Amino acid sequence: MENGQDNRADAEEIMMQLRYLQNIYSQEYENIENNIATYTLTNAAINRNIELLEKSKEIEGARMMIGGEGGAYVPAAISKIENVLTYVGAGYMIEKPVEKALEFLRENGKRGDEILSKLNAEKRKIEQNLIDIQYKSSALQSQLAGTQE
């Protein structure tokens, strides 16, 4: 009888450990999903900027309306685009020639794609770990139910 109680206590201890691991993996999974969303948005913005800079010659002289606060719009014309301000991180922007800015943005896009690939691989690992934990938990619950009978 004592052996059965020891086995049950061991199984209950393992169940607690599995629940703990499941919580940790679930939190990590949520964190990775947030990071994936952030990098996806960032890469989309980078790609839009690349498209804009690639069309810089085509839009020279174009007329547009620039929005101000409170719904006021001011007409403007785009002059020759030689240099652009490029965000380099930590709240800083530097002026770069269009071609250098394009190189910089393309490199950032590649790095973002690499990071996204790594995050997605990590996400798949965590998903598999969560499935394994669920499988082990179910097997252990069945074992515990069998010892009660």
Q: Is 62 contained in some domain?
A: no
Mean of pLDDT values over 37-59: 93
Residue-averaged pLDDT of the chain: 90
67 in a structural domain: no
The total domain count for the chain is: 1
Radius of gyration in angstroms for the set of CA atoms belonging to the chain, rounded to a whole number: 28
Residue 68 lies in a domain: no
- Give the tens place of pLDDT for each residue, 104-131: 999 999 999 999 999 999 999 999 999 9
- Report yes or no on 46 lying in a domain: yes
Q: What are phi and psi of 93, to 5 degrees?
A: -125, 145
Confirm whether 99 is domain-assigned.
yes
C-alpha closest to that of 78 among 66, 63, 90, 57: 63
d(CA 40, CA 17): 34
Q: Evaluate whether residue 86 is within a structural domain.
A: yes
Q: Any residues with CB less than 8 A from the CB of 148 and at least 6 apart, and which? A: none
Write the pLDDT tens digit of every residue in 69-94: 888 899 888 888 899 999 888 999 99
3-state secondary structure 52-114: HHHCCCCCCCCEEEEECHHHCEEEEECCCCCEEEEEEECCEEEEEEHHHHHHHHHHHHHHHHH
> Which tokens sit at 119?
């995050």
Containing domain of residue 133, as a range?
2-56+82-148
Residue 72 lies in a domain: no
What CATH number corresponds to the domain at position 11?
A: 1.10.287.370
Q: Is 76 among the domain residues?
A: no
Report which of 47, 59, 61 is spatially closest to residue 102, judged by C-alpha positions.
47
pTM of the model: 0.75
